[in-house]
């Protein structure tokens, strides 16, 4: 005897349709959320210094990070650029374009990761870190990208050759070992790219430690140590709403 095939009822068809709609909505939501994590829209004019050149962007610009490459869409097309910090006119704040390590030697805390597109503002020595409507506040220390870039969260003295330059909080420096140093000083809004001839670059903090920025080492009362560089292997800094 042949078995009669069960007929699909209207209710079952509706349920299948609803499941399909829900799955599609979840996929779209995941794509949207992933894009938000990889992209940043400042909604105000920004600028960068790249290899000695000032690049200015409108408030409609969208920054995207894909496989460690920073892309910029200013409405006229998408271009790649170096991952130097995003800066703001007439404001003491910046946005990171890559994951960086937060180190606070004077606080004797371990390294923490500050994620790409975190915006940092500073006032009276207090730095506020904001990402996706979450924030945290810290005092002092510095950020290191594990390679050549340093962001200072407190005042430091940059030294190379016969130069001693005081950098204000949220200044940054990029060093090619004994070849060049480029730095942006928030104290005066000036950027400099200086060629070096077998010269070391150091940053000295008032709290009693210093950095050799070419060798990526830190000098404290306990001695010298190589800076940790595996940025993505440490825990991200905790933020609240």
Task: Tell me how far apart the alpha carbons of residues 138 and 152 are, in angstroms, rounded to a whole number.
Answer: 12
Global pTM exceeds 0.85: no
- pLDDT values of the chain reduced to their tens digit, one per residue, 241 residues: 455 555 556 655 666 566 555 544 433 333 333 344 479 999 899 999 988 899 999 999 999 988 778 898 987 778 787 779 999 998 999 999 999 999 999 887 889 999 999 999 999 999 999 999 999 999 999 999 999 999 999 999 999 999 999 999 999 999 999 999 999 999 999 999 999 999 999 999 999 999 999 999 999 998 999 999 999 999 999 999 8
Instruction: Order across the sheet with 93-95: list the strands.
Output: 53-57, 46-50, 86-88, 93-95, 119-123, 126-131, 134-139
Question: 199 CB contacts (<8 Å, ≥6 apart)?
Answer: 160, 161, 178
Question: Could you state, in order of their start, the residue ranges of all structural domains in the chain?
Answer: 11-38, 41-241
The SS3 of residue 24 is helix
Q: Residue 15's pLDDT is what?
A: 63
What is the DSSP code string of 36-76?
HHHEE--SS-EEEEETTEEEEE-TT-EEEEETTEEEEE-SS
């Amino acid at each position: 005897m042949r078995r009669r095939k069960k007929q699909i009822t209207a209710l079952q068809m509706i349920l299948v349709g609803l499941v399909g709609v829900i799955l599609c909505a979840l996929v779209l939501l995941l794509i949207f959320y992933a894009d938000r994590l990889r992209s940043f829209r400042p909604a105000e004019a920004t600028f960068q210094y790249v290899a000695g050149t000032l690049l200015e962007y409108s408030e409609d610009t969208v920054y995207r990070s894909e496989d460690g490459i920073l892309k910029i869409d200013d409405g006229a097309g998408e271009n790649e650029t170096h991952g130097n910090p995003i800066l703001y006119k007439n404001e003491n704040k910046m946005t990171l374009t890559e994951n960086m390590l937060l180190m606070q030697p004077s606080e004797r805390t371990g390294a923490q990761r500050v994620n790409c597109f975190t915006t940092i503002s500073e006032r009276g020595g207090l730095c506020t870190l904001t990402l996706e409507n979450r924030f945290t506040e810290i005092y002092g220390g510095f950020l290191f990208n594990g390679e050549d870039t340093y962001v200072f969260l407190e005042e430091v003295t940059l030294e190379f050759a016969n130069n001693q330059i005081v950098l204000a909080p949220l200044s940054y420096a990029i060093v090619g070992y004994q070849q060049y140093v480029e730095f942006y000083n928030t104290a005066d809004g000036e950027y400099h790219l200086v060629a070096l001839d077998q010269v070391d670059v150091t940053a000295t903090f008032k709290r009693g430690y210093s950095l050799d920025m070419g060798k990526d080492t830190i000098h404290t009362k306990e001695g010298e140590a190589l800076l940790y560089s595996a940025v993505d292997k440490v825990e991200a800094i905790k933020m609240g709403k």
